[in-house]
Structure 1
Amino acid sequence: MISVNISASVYPTEDPEKVIKAISGLFTGVELQKENFSSPEPEKGISPSFRITGEGGLDLLFTLHGLIRREQIIDSIRNKVFNKGLSSEGLSVSFLLNKQAAFVGIPSVPAEKEPLGSIEVTIRADSSEEMERLFEWLLPLTEEGVPVAEVEMDYVERG
């Protein structure tokens, strides 16, 4: 089974409603909650006020799936994120998405650490085979940016 965890720090200068809109615009039906931020002294600068978090299953990725195709960034996302963020055992992948781009409905991987943080996403699978099927669905191989073959969402969690 696929599990998806999403979180973003909210800083004092940010409007929490805009952070919520940014996350909700990329992830289908995500129910978000506020978590107090408990961390040691910030390295420098202002520390976050709190975090917005949400979790769910594969269905949370439905909107992201469509947006990646609309923006024609399958290869970019696969190369920047999934190839680098995959855990050594192949059971989880973690990546960041830019909050400002997400606010306008565009999934974008930040080039470097962002001053106000990013949307943090972690996807876990029960097996490496299930993770491979997730990649085939979310980020299929392409030719000239167009998917060679598309699979349906239910393909991912088939055992």
Structure 2
Amino acid sequence: MISVKISATVYPTEDPEKVIKAVSDLFTGIELQKENVDTKEPEKGVSPFFHITGEGGLDLLYTLHGLIRREQIIDSIRNKVFNKGLSSEGLSVSFLLNKQAAFVGVPSVPAEEEPLGSIEVTIRADSSEEMERLFEWLLPITEEGVPLVEVGMDYVERG
């Protein structure tokens, strides 16, 4: 089974509704919770206002799947996510998405941690085979930017 966790930190200089919209625009039907933060982040010199988090299954990734294709960035996202964020055992992948790009409905993986943070995405699978099927669905191999094979969501959680 695929599980997805999304989180983002909201800073006092940000409009909380815009950060919530950014996350909601990328992740289908996500229900977000606010978590207060009591610590200061010394490396940034500012205290976060709060964190927003949401969890769910594969269905959360439906909108992201479509946006990646609309923007024709399958190869770019796959190279950044698969090469950097896949755990050594192949059961989870973590990556960041830019908040500002997300606000306008564009998934974008920043080159490095952003000053006011990014949207953090962690996807876990029960097996490395299931994670491989997730990548085949979300970020398939392409030729000249066009997926060689498109599979449905049901393919991912098939045992």
Give TM-score, length-normalised by structure 2. Answer: 0.97
Counterpart of 2:103 in structure 1: which amino acid?
F
Measure, in 2, the Cα distance between the counterparts of 1:38 and 1:54: 20
Structure 1 residue 112 displacement after superposition? 1.8
Corresponding position of 1:102: 102
Measure, in 2, the Cα distance between the counterparts of 1:44 and 1:17: 22
Post-superposition CA distance 1:48-97 (Å, at most 9, x none): 11101000000000000000000000000000112210000000000000
Pick closer, same or farther for the CA change 1:118–1:141 going to 2, 3 Å: same
Query: Considering only aligned residues, what root-mean-square deviation do their CA atoms show, in Å?
Result: 1.0
Corresponding position of 2:60: 60
Match runs of 1:24-39 below 5 Å: 24-39=24-39
Structure 1 residue 45 displacement after superposition? 1.5
Corresponding position of 1:154: 154
Q: Which runs of 5+ in 2 are unaligned?
A: none
Q: Which runs of 5+ in 1 are unaligned?
A: none
SS in 1 for 2:129: helix
Equivalent pair of 1:130/1:156 in contact (CA under 8 Å):
yes
State how many pairs are aligned.
159
Percent identity over paired residues:
88
Match runs of 1:48-127 below 5 Å: 48-127=48-127
Pick closer, same or farther for the CA change 1:139–1:43 going to 2, 3 Å: same
Pick closer, same or farther for the CA change 1:141–1:41 going to 2, 3 Å: closer
Counterpart of 1:139 in structure 2: which amino acid?
L
